[in-house]
Amino acid sequence: MSRSRIQVLPGARRSPLILVLLLASLVLVGVLGWQSWRLQRSNAVIAEAVLHDYAGLVIDEYERRATTALGYRGYYPLITAIANSESPSAMREALDAGQPDDRPPSLVAGLFIVTDDGTQMDIGAPGPVVAALLEEVRRFVARANAPYYSLFDTSGREQAIFAVRDDSSGRRRPGFIVAGRGVSTSLQAAQASGPLLPASLAGGHLSNDMLFLRVRNPAGDVLYEAHPEFYGSLTVERTLGDDYQGILAGYTIAASLDPASASSLVIGGLPQSRLPLLLFVMLMVVVLLVMAIWLSSREQAVMAMRADFISQVSHELRTPLTQIRMFAETFLLDRLRNESDRIRALQIINGEAQRLTHLVENILQFSTRAKTTKCNLRLQPIAPVIRDVCGTLQATANQTCFVLDLDDTAVGIVDTDALRQILLNLLDNAVKYGPKPQRVTVVLAVQGDVLRVSVADEGPGIPAAERDRVWSAFYRLGREQDTAVSGTGIGLAVVRALVEAMHGRCYVADSSRGAEFVVELPIGAERG
């Protein structure tokens, strides 16, 4: 079979360029998205650093306030009042006599005087932990001239505040055991005394309500906690040393700020992220790219079908024209030997002309199938049309025998020309794809309110999975892709369009041998 050279159309050259431009746009949006992500990440790092630094500033300020509340307003006035007392009962009287309002007596859990010879206590029944702590106080030797000292027991839960006094009888250490509840009260008061960050930050809108704060004693017990909802990965923890006479030595302070405050703390605020917008644009570009690829593939497929259609039509037209020209030249050169040859040549010319006419009608019908197909419907008998078409084809299909089983009383509302074209297409396919020789059976019957016309051949048949697709334009069965059987691929598409225009339906019926095409049309109002 000859093949026509397929010209590459401009659309075929434009499609790759369009895809390249869309891919370039996608890459550009991806780069912008990556840069936006880096910028957003850089902003997040800056915000985390700012929050981290300010959390450290909160700890510094809170440590100063807590040591002031516990040391200057708490431990120092208490130890001053009892430092010169000779007994725990005198200590109690000194504490009860005219204390200032800002001195928290709740800090005292018990009073003691530890000397080199023994211990006097006003603690009730001290447990072994307190006893061990007082023994540590006994062994304590003052290393500096401080107003008081602080010691924790080995567990980190009990704390003693005491002074060191030397007199004629030796060294004595008056002091008291610290009440944990009183420490918690003082720690709370330290935060409540005012903002822990400078008022100039965030225009004065940053309050302690936006701070997480937690204080643990050396044993890890939580003595005070505020706003735990702001605890997170940006929390700063610090274990305090022996500053301020070791009042908070061993204590751990954790602090963090509400992440939402970062935009107020960073000078100029945090820039808005463009990442969501860029991601949306990238998604749209991807959608457009997929659509462009799909449309390009469809365009390429349509162009390939169009080129193949042109090639097939050219071949189909060339064959009858060649036959007509050859026998016409034979007539002109008077090379026919007898009248029988002349009649045979005229029959071939007539058959090829009819074939050419049928092909042209198919092409014209297919080219206008998207428009409304108009049929001149009228009530008429069907059997004569079928006999006429079969007789026409029989002249050229020498190896095919048409077997007719027709109900001569059947009448239908049809268009004669459309019905002839339907039958020509179905019978031509039966002759073309069936074996040589073969029998093609045409049956006309009335079933209910429809006329049923069936055309059955003895060929290989049509697989059930492809019986719906064969009615599509340019579709060919997989087994026929590499065969020598030619065709335009529009015959069955024209059949379906004409049948639907006459308010009927067509389908491929189940058959034990070969393929059976069925056309059902409306029955006429009367039967002869």
Does 7 or 68 have the greater pLDDT score? Answer: 68
Mean pLDDT over 380-387 rounds to 91
Structure tokens at 32: 């912008």
Of residues 130 and 490, more confidently modeled: 130
**What pLDDT was estimated at residue 169?**
73
Most confident of 223-227, 245-249, 459-463: 223-227
Reply yes or no on whether the pLDDT at 270 is more than 60: no
Whether residue 3 has pLDDT greater than 50: no
> Higher-confidence residue: 238 or 270?
238
pLDDT over 50 at 393, yes or no: yes
The 10 Å Cβ neighbour count of residue 62 is 20
Residue 209: pLDDT over 80: yes
Between 69 and 269, the higher pLDDT residue: 69
* Confidence check: pLDDT of 216 > 90: yes
**Does pLDDT of 526 surpass 70?**
no
pLDDT band (50, 70, 90) for residue 239: very high
- pLDDT value, residue 315: 59
State which H helix or E strand residue 35 sits in.
Answer: helix 10-67
Burial of 205 per CB tally in 10 Å (0-12, 13-18, 19+): exposed
Which domains, and CATH codes, for the chain? 8-273 (no CATH), 368-522 (3.30.565.10)
Tell me what percent of the residues of the chain surpass a pLDDT of 70.
Answer: 80
C-alpha span between 153 and 136 (Å, rounded): 8
Give residue 527's pLDDT.
Answer: 44
Q: Which one-letter amino acid corresponds to residue 289? A: L
Q: Which range has the worst mean pLDDT, 147-151, 316-320, 324-328?
A: 316-320
Q: How far apart are CA 227 and CA 214, in angstroms?
A: 9
Question: Which tokens in the block code for residue 448?
Answer: 């209910």
Q: Check residue 99 and give left, alpha or beta (phi > 0: left; psi -120 to 50: alpha).
A: beta
- The yes-or-no verdict on residue 225 having pLDDT over 90 is yes
Q: Are 163 and 149 in contact (CB under 8 A)?
A: yes
Q: What is the pLDDT of residues 7-65, one digit of tens each?
A: 444 555 566 776 677 777 778 777 777 777 777 777 777 777 888 888 899 999 999 99
| More reliable by pLDDT, 44 or 194 | 194
Tokens of 290: 């997929």
Q: Does residue 196 carry a pLDDT above 50?
A: yes
* pLDDT score recorded for residue 404: 92
Sign for the CA dihedral angle at 194, 195, 200, 206 comes to: negative
Per-residue confidence (pLDDT) for residue 122, from 0 to 100: 83
Structure confidence by residue, pLDDT tens digits, 168-193: 777 889 999 998 888 998 898 888 88
pLDDT at 66 over 80: yes
Q: Say how far apart CA 336 and CA 73 lie, in whole Å.
A: 139
Is residue 267 helix, strand or coil?
coil
pLDDT at residue 98 in the model = 54
Instruction: Give the pLDDT score at 244.
Output: 67
What local confidence, expressed as pLDDT, does residue 204 receive? 62
pLDDT of residue 223: 92
pLDDT at 310: 67
Task: Please state, in angstroms and rounded to a whole number, the distance separating the CA atoms of residues 315 and 285.
Answer: 44
Residues with Cβ within 8 Å of 275's Cβ and at least 6 positions away in sequence, in order, are 33, 36, 37, 40
Q: What is residue 271's predicted lDDT score, i.e. its pLDDT? A: 57
Task: Round to whole Å and give the CA distance between 508 and 496.
Answer: 12
Q: What are phi and psi of 256, to 5 degrees?
A: -155, 160
Q: Is 382 or 375 the better-scoring residue by pLDDT?
A: 382
Range with lowest mean pLDDT among 201-210, 320-329, 340-349, 418-427: 201-210
User: Is the pLDDT assigned to residue 100 strictly greater than 90?
Assistant: no
Q: Extract long-range pairs of 284-292: CB within 8 Å, 24+ residues apart.
A: 285/22, 285/25, 285/26, 285/29, 286/26, 288/22, 289/19, 289/22, 289/23, 289/26, 292/18, 292/19, 292/22
Taking residues 56-80, report their average pLDDT.
89
Instruction: Return the closest-CA partner of residue 194 out of 71, 58, 67.
Output: 58
Category of 489 on φ-ψ map: left (φ > 0), alpha (ψ -120 to 50) or beta: left
Query: Per-residue pLDDT averaged across 363-370, rounded?
Result: 62
d(CA 163, CA 147): 6
- Average pLDDT in the 240-255 region? 84
Least confident of 199-208, 216-225, 284-293: 199-208
- Angle (CA) 361-409-496 rounded to 5° is 30
Quote the pLDDT of residue 517: 93
In whole numbers, what is the pLDDT of the chain averaged over residues? 80
For 422-448, what is the mean pLDDT?
88
In this prediction, residues 457-469 reach a mean pLDDT of 87
pLDDT for position 479 = 61
